[in-house]
Structure 1
Amino acid sequence: MGNLRGYQTNDVYSIKTVSDPQISPDGDAIAYVVTTINRRANNYNSAIWLKNKHGRPSRITADSAKETQPRWSSDGNSIAFLSDRDGDSAQIHVISMGSNKIRKLSTFQKGALEIIWSPSGKAIMATSRINKGQNKSNNDPIVIRHLKHKHNGQGFFDGSHVQIFVVPTDGKKPKQITEGNWDNSQIDCSPDGKMICFVSSRHETRDVDIAQDLWIIPTKGGNPTCLTKRFGVVEAPIFSPDGQSIAFSGHDHPDDSAGRISKLWVLPSTEGKPKALSPTLDRSVASGSAMPGAVPSRFSWTPDGKALIARVQDGPNLHLYRFPINGDLESPIIEAKQCIEAFSLSNIETIACLITNQNKPPEVFLWENNKLLQVSHLNDKLFSKIKSPQIHDVKVELTRDIHIFGWIIKPLNFNPNKKYPLVLDVHGGPHAAFMNAFRGSYPMTLASMGCAVLQMNPRGSTGWGEQFSRYLGDGRGKRDFPELLQAIEYVSTEGWIDTNRLGITGYSYGGFMTAWAITQTNMFKAAVWGAGVANLYTHYAYTDNTSPRYPEMGGSPWENRKRYVELSPISYVQNVNTPLLMLHGEADLRCNPAQADEFFTALKYMGNETELVRYPGEHHGFRQNGRPSNRVDYDTRLINWFSERLQF
């Protein structure tokens, strides 16, 4: 125990990232993905691992490729997965559990995106992005005719669309069953194998709203049928065991989506109106993950079709709940101070879970007989050498009835008689939250070096109900920043925080808030902008995420110019005295690096201490899945900027 050390930036190279646990139909085995960093190649490798009920975990695919999405056949004899092992894009492969023989089933030019088995095991349904007409080179002109013409992480629209295919497992040629100038995704197959449900936006106003709809199409091909009409957000549809119903998550607000609660919905698989389960539950059903870049997790029907199992965000936690179809109240299955990142359900209702907490990365667990058993231990060796800092919950009373929540990460080997610097870390979104999930990277390293980190969830954050998450409206910065200042004041009353050594940082919306903060006060002695926004008036044209912002901001920039300018940090740039480090991906299409250029240029003209670092080829999510060396560089620069100016 005496040899324990603090968390270090380079530990990212040693962490094994576990994801996508898939339990076999009989519950006897769990397949999951393990991703590691290849430091020499400066990239990632992923492999499929298997844990049999009475055996040790073992790797069953290559560890020198990207192999993901393990999916069990209904008889449990095979696992389909995606792999780029042949040097091309991700293709469908199948491994036999008896012989470990692997067969390649596809040669999609742009690779497969998602896969599911047909119930008979004779085919795999897949999606792939298909070019209409001749492929173009990267040097050809880009012709833009639509508002939605770019997407962060993918680049500018190249004319291709995501289509659905039926891929025979006997090696015959895949059959494309959808076509047209729209994407089709999030597929599921009916129990009789005759229909596929999917999500698509085909309505006339799809270019200027976020509306999606649920569709079905015969697996043999034909005309698709729309089951909803410009519904809103539709995610992760799944057929009931008898095929008579389809469940999905989402909300029915196609024109005003910001901060909305995502509910579970059920409707007949032929036609009918979606019905919300637990309509009074003021918490969101989660279909994504608290870990950026992770594979989304579907919810599950129980084998008898009487209930749905889904994850629910409650504050900073992700719990597992049962939702009866008959209208009874939902009830918790697994509820604790942690995040269930993903899960899958067997035919005997045992559950494979991916669970993380504040101090440890996700690992695979088995829920059986009302008990949790840890299945994977891939990071135990690394973390047996690391001493974790103390993390204490923080509850700040804004008014008698309104509180905000978060936590403070205290410096390692904390001494209440000493004075420590504090960095305020602001989350993105704004409709997101700091979760009870592993927070490696710079917060843990800062604490290990002697600097406290405060992470709060002000109003506008998700997890505390729809009224809480929609509080910001057109008041970004003006409404939530004062709450963060109250949090700093609250934690400072304990007496060990040196209020003359305060810093602030944040990524995405947190970067915007960092810029806003240093234009409103000089209390911060150092600041680090991560992929932020300085000018809301120009941001609308730069981002790939434009239309959902308009209702929340009270209209478009040309309709409400005064408010956009009033809420933009660059409007107050002359007030800045805080040294600012700006870190931004050069291929970021969510918060375009032009935003950094605007703020940096203004600050430099006025002689401020400012430094801008641009990361070539990196998109908005590079801090989670960009080149490993750039992830480490980001954290190292941030830590050095604070340590030099806050003196720790």
Structure 2
Amino acid sequence: MSEKRPITVDDIYNIGHVEDPRISPDGAWIAYVKVTVDQFENTYKRNIWLAATDGGAPRQLTRGGKDSQPRWSPDGATLAFVSARDEKPQIYLLPTRVPGGEARVLTKAPNGATSPAWSPDGAHIAYLAPMREDERAKEDSDEDDPKPADSFEAKQHKERKAHDEEQYYDPRTMWRIPYRQGTSYVDERYAQIYVIAVDENLEGDDAKPRRLTDINADHDPPQWSTDGGTIYTSRTVDATLDEPWLHQHLYAIDVATGTHTQITTDATFTDYAPLPSPDGKWLAYVRTPLEHLAARNIRLTIIPVDGGEPRDLTLEFDRSVDDFKWAADSSALFFNAENWGDTEIYCVTLSDGYIEEAVAGRFNSEMLDVGVDGGIAYSASTAQNPGELYYKAADATEATQVSDVNGKFLSEVIVQEVHELRFKNPDGLELQGWYLEPVGYEAGKKYPLAFNIHGGPHAMWGPGTRSMWHEWQYHAAQGYAVFYSNPRGGEGYGEEFKLVLRKAWGSIAFTDLMAGVDAFLEKGIADENRMAVTGGSYGGYMTAWVVGHTDRFKSAVTQRGVYNLISFYGTTDVPFLIKSDFGVEPWEDIDFMWEQSPLAYAQHITTPLLIIHSDNDFRAPIPDAEQLFAFLRRMGKTVKMIRYPREGHELSRSGEPKHRVSRLTEMVNWFDEYCKP
């Protein structure tokens, strides 16, 4: 065996992961999405794979490179999935019991179709499709565009449609907040629920999709009742309200008549993601109190399908719930939740509300599914592996790794061990952090430090955080000791741990972060005179706050950060975060908002600062970065700004691969310039 090598920046192209595992109705198979990076095309490939729950090598089902959301038919003979292989995403059907079977397209939605859901009898699929109000009106009038006579006419039609689309938004009118999300402006197309027959032999109206909704609001993915007569969803209660996700409730839609019935009504909560129990008696869903929303726990809740009093199953558990699934006999729910650096899988029984760990081990689970026999499939990352599929049989004590997405890569590289470090802040509160020794570490020798700060602010990092796995290992491979921690305000330690950050984003976290750095320095691994600090989003806010309040760091890289809370409020797609976390709207106490902004302390910054931001970041928009750069430049400080075109807030996690490589290269070069003289 050849000697292993340190991880490089280009290993971004060699790392994959798993998404959306789905167990077949008989419990024998797991369909999942394998995600890889295509360096040549500068993009990501998503293909659907199939693995047996009792072992054996997985096999690839699709090769389109743009395939996702596999969903089993009730009889297990067909997989519905979403593919964007022909420009717009559409739903395809693939036979699973016919070797070499070809997928056929089911939908031809003009703006694409996603989120397929099979009816219990397997005869229909409900799905989501975005449509503008004028497009829905035309659809209702049955005025179909004439079919092109030839390829030339088809080309003309496509060009005319593209021109009309451009003209529709010129000029662009904004009437609700937010008016842009992700990397683009909201196009006034809202996700509507449709139902389409699966039988390809039907003709006329029987073959056409039928729309069940008609409101300028996005609907959550549809879920069928066990008798097939009802579809459950969630949406805003009032389509005219700003930030519609703050006012969501559950709805039941009669499939035959299209009648909508609101199920949840408590205006002090926002409710979403309904999932009916297999016995048809309950709806499980998640809800969050609106007061101080951003810092509150997401609760797993049940309610009778016909309405009634909600029952929170995880209120005393004191952790936020992410993905969840029913047990086959409806007696329990399985869910994952962040807890002390890990994202663990739990089970709660309905009869007594008892919660226990369902899968043992240290990992960060992302998506899960539960089979008819109680087996659990889940995607997860660990400190040793950035992402695989795992399966735990109902009678097994441990889970087994099913996929081998990263096996070849991991066999070739040095993976540094992640060590836990518990420490106390000045108030005596125990906090949690982790560190990596640099590759080639020699005891007694001190190394430059790369100190990382997480975002959120209500997020959590751990030893197996997938989004940071390569970055931390790369820093260590470049000769840096790596340290990161979870200061107060983050997930995984209870609701009060999060709420304490209210009205003090900077000062409270600063105290905890510096206590962690001091505790790590005591181990004698890092050189206190060669320390760099970096973070993204809220981590960018804190990076700027840190260097505005101490000169102990020799280099700093702030990324996709918030630096002026006043301008942030007016440009972000999550303005509710300000009232939620600071208790006021900016105009109610403008001086307080400025005092809480890192930009207010720019004159105190002496650390050389690199600002990294994306042009199309509408979560933490780029004007904040431009202001910070201009302030520091005018003050004669050492500062540089790099901005990435086409990218949004997710640059570091899912941006164009070449941009991710560039970002890490620029970061380490900036570290090196000041920490490796």
Amino acid at match of 2:421: V
- Which shows bigger deviation, 135-144 or 370-379? 135-144
Residue 152 (structure 1) aligned with residue 152 (structure 2)? no
Match of 2:341 among 309, 312, 316: 316
Residue 478 (structure 1) aligned with residue 513 (structure 2)? no
Deviation at 1:2, TM superposition (A): 6.5
- Which shows bigger deviation, 498-507 or 370-379? 370-379
Q: Which residue of 2 aligns with 1:94?
A: 93
- Which shows bigger deviation, 362-371 or 594-603? 362-371
> 1:278·1:329 contact (CA, 8 Å) conserved in 2?
no
Pair 458,4 (structure 1): closer, same or farther in 2 beyond 3 Å: same
Amino acid at match of 2:665: T
Residue 235 (structure 1) aligned with residue 265 (structure 2)? no
Amino acid at match of 2:218: D
Q: Which residue of 1 aligns with 2:212?
A: 177
Deviation at 1:355, TM superposition (A): 2.3
Q: Percent identity?
A: 32
- Quote the Cα distance in structure 1 between the aligned partners of 2:116 and 2:239: 29
User: Helix, strand or coil for the counterpart of 1:520?
Assistant: coil
Residue 249 (structure 1) aligned with residue 276 (structure 2)? no
Q: Which residue of 1 aligns with 2:38?
A: 38
Pair 243,188 (structure 1): closer, same or farther in 2 beyond 3 Å: same
User: Helix, strand or coil for the counterpart of 1:133?
Assistant: helix
> 1:72·1:79 contact (CA, 8 Å) conserved in 2?
yes
Pair 208,389 (structure 1): closer, same or farther in 2 beyond 3 Å: closer
RMSD of aligned residue pairs (Cα, Å):
1.7
Amino acid at match of 1:206: L
What pairs with 1:45-194 in structure 2 (closer than 5 Å)? 45-52=45-52, 53=54, 55-62=56-63, 64-85=64-85, 87-99=86-98, 100-133=101-134, 136-137=165-166, 140-153=170-183, 155-171=184-200, 172-194=207-229
Residue 306 (structure 1) aligned with residue 342 (structure 2)? no
User: Helix, strand or coil for the counterpart of 2:593?
Assistant: helix
Q: Which residue of 2 aligns with 1:603?
A: 632
> 2:268·2:291 contact (CA, 8 Å) conserved in 1?
no
Residue 626 (structure 1) aligned with residue 651 (structure 2)? no
- Quote the Cα distance in structure 1 between the aligned partners of 2:620 and 2:51: 41
- Quote the Cα distance in structure 1 between the aligned partners of 2:336 and 2:674: 42
> 1:421·1:451 contact (CA, 8 Å) conserved in 2?
yes
Amino acid at match of 1:239: P
> 1:356·1:437 contact (CA, 8 Å) conserved in 2?
yes
> 2:338·2:460 contact (CA, 8 Å) conserved in 1?
no
- Which shows bigger deviation, 174-183 or 144-153? 144-153
> 1:42·1:628 contact (CA, 8 Å) conserved in 2?
yes
Match of 1:259 among 295, 304, 329: 295
Deviation at 1:205, TM superposition (A): 7.5
- Which shows bigger deviation, 526-535 or 345-354? 345-354
> 2:433·2:516 contact (CA, 8 Å) conserved in 1?
no
What pairs with 1:366-405 in structure 2 (closer than 5 Å)? 366-368=391-393, 369-370=395-396, 371-398=398-425, 402-405=429-432
Deviation at 1:231, TM superposition (A): 5.0
Amino acid at match of 1:544: D
Q: Which residue of 2 aligns with 1:427?
A: 454
- Quote the Cα distance in structure 2 between the aligned partners of 1:336 and 1:427: 23
**Residue deviations 1:420-456, cap 9 Å, x none?**
1112100010000113333333321111111011111
Q: Which residue of 2 aligns with 1:290?
A: none
Q: Which residue of 1 aligns with 2:576?
A: 547
Amino acid at match of 1:554: G
- Quote the Cα distance in structure 1 between the aligned partners of 2:654 and 2:524: 39
What pairs with 1:499-538 in structure 2 (closer than 5 Å)? 499-538=528-567
Q: Which structure shows the higher helix fraction?
A: 2
Match of 2:485 among 437, 449, 456: 456
Match of 1:562 among 588, 591, 598: 591
Amino acid at match of 1:437: T
Amino acid at match of 2:83: S
> 1:211·1:255 contact (CA, 8 Å) conserved in 2?
no
- Quote the Cα distance in structure 2 between the aligned partners of 1:46 and 1:343: 18
Deviation at 1:574, TM superposition (A): 1.0
Q: Which residue of 2 aligns with 1:291?
A: none
Deviation at 1:402, TM superposition (A): 1.6
User: Helix, strand or coil for the counterpart of 1:334?
Assistant: coil
Unaligned runs of 5+ in 2: 136-163, 201-206
**Residue deviations 1:151-197, cap 9 Å, x none?**
123x2222211100112112411111001121111321111111111
- Quote the Cα distance in structure 2 between the aligned partners of 1:201 and 1:103: 34
Deviation at 1:55, TM superposition (A): 4.0
Amino acid at match of 2:19: S
- Quote the Cα distance in structure 1 between the aligned partners of 2:240 and 2:319: 29
- Quote the Cα distance in structure 1 between the aligned partners of 2:601 and 2:552: 16
Deviation at 1:554, TM superposition (A): 2.0
- Quote the Cα distance in structure 2 between the aligned partners of 1:355 and 1:316: 13
> 2:510·2:542 contact (CA, 8 Å) conserved in 1?
yes
User: Helix, strand or coil for the counterpart of 1:538?
Assistant: helix
Amino acid at match of 2:115: E
Amino acid at match of 1:426: I
- Quote the Cα distance in structure 2 between the aligned partners of 1:136 and 1:617: 20
- Which shows bigger deviation, 123-132 or 396-405? 396-405
Q: Which residue of 1 aligns with 2:440?
A: 413
User: Helix, strand or coil for the counterpart of 1:128?
Assistant: strand
What pairs with 1:189-200 in structure 2 (closer than 5 Å)? 189-200=224-235
User: Helix, strand or coil for the counterpart of 2:295?
Assistant: coil
Amino acid at match of 1:305: S
> 1:213·1:231 contact (CA, 8 Å) conserved in 2?
no
Amino acid at match of 2:564: N
- Quote the Cα distance in structure 2 between the aligned partners of 1:277 and 1:227: 18
- Quote the Cα distance in structure 2 between the aligned partners of 1:278 and 1:603: 47
User: Helix, strand or coil for the counterpart of 2:507?
Assistant: coil
Amino acid at match of 1:32: Y
- Quote the Cα distance in structure 2 between the aligned partners of 1:203 and 1:274: 21
Residue 443 (structure 1) aligned with residue 472 (structure 2)? yes
**Residue deviations 1:587-634, cap 9 Å, x none?**
000000111100001111111111111111111112211111001111
Amino acid at match of 1:443: W
- Quote the Cα distance in structure 2 between the aligned partners of 1:475 and 1:380: 44
- Quote the Cα distance in structure 2 between the aligned partners of 1:309 and 1:382: 32
- Quote the Cα distance in structure 2 between the aligned partners of 1:83 and 1:532: 34
Deviation at 1:400, TM superposition (A): 6.8
Q: Which residue of 2 aligns with 1:292?
A: none
> 2:632·2:639 contact (CA, 8 Å) conserved in 1?
yes
- Quote the Cα distance in structure 1 between the aligned partners of 2:94 and 2:379: 23
**Residue deviations 1:545-565, cap 9 Å, x none?**
002321321210000111110
- Which shows bigger deviation, 473-482 or 101-110? 101-110
> 1:19·1:33 contact (CA, 8 Å) conserved in 2?
yes
Deviation at 1:245, TM superposition (A): 1.1
- Quote the Cα distance in structure 2 between the aligned partners of 1:147 and 1:15: 37
Q: Which residue of 2 aligns with 1:640?
A: 669
**Residue deviations 1:485-516, cap 9 Å, x none?**
11111111122321110111000111111111
- Quote the Cα distance in structure 1 between the aligned partners of 2:65 and 2:601: 49
- Quote the Cα distance in structure 1 between the aligned partners of 2:553 and 2:314: 45
- Quote the Cα distance in structure 1 between the aligned partners of 2:641 and 2:14: 29
- Quote the Cα distance in structure 2 between the aligned partners of 1:500 and 1:79: 58
Q: Which residue of 2 aligns with 1:465?
A: 494
- Quote the Cα distance in structure 2 between the aligned partners of 1:332 and 1:144: 47
Paired residue total:
633
Pair 542,328 (structure 1): closer, same or farther in 2 beyond 3 Å: closer
> 1:406·1:457 contact (CA, 8 Å) conserved in 2?
yes
